[in-house]
Amino acid sequence: MVQPWWPLAVLAVIQLSDAAMCVKPVAFIRQCLVEVRFPERLWKLLPPLKIATATGLVAGIWVPPLALLTCAALICYFVVAIAAHIRARDLGRNLFLNATAMLAICTATLVFVVRAA
Task: List, in order, residues 6 or more apart from 61 with CB less than 8 Å away.
Answer: 1, 2, 5, 8, 9, 67
Task: Answer whether residue 74 shows pLDDT above 90.
Answer: yes
pLDDT value of residue 64:
94
The radius of gyration computed from the CA coordinates of the chain, to the nearest angstrom, equals: 14
Residue 32 has pLDDT above 80, yes or no: yes
Please give the average per-residue pLDDT across 26-47, as a whole number: 94
Q: Is the pLDDT of residue 20 over 80?
A: yes
Confidence of residue 23 (pLDDT cuts 50, 70, 90): very high
Contacts of 51 (CB under 8 A, 6+ apart): 15, 16, 19
Q: Sketch the domain layout of the chain as residue ranges.
A: 6-116
Q: What is the pLDDT of residue 91?
A: 82
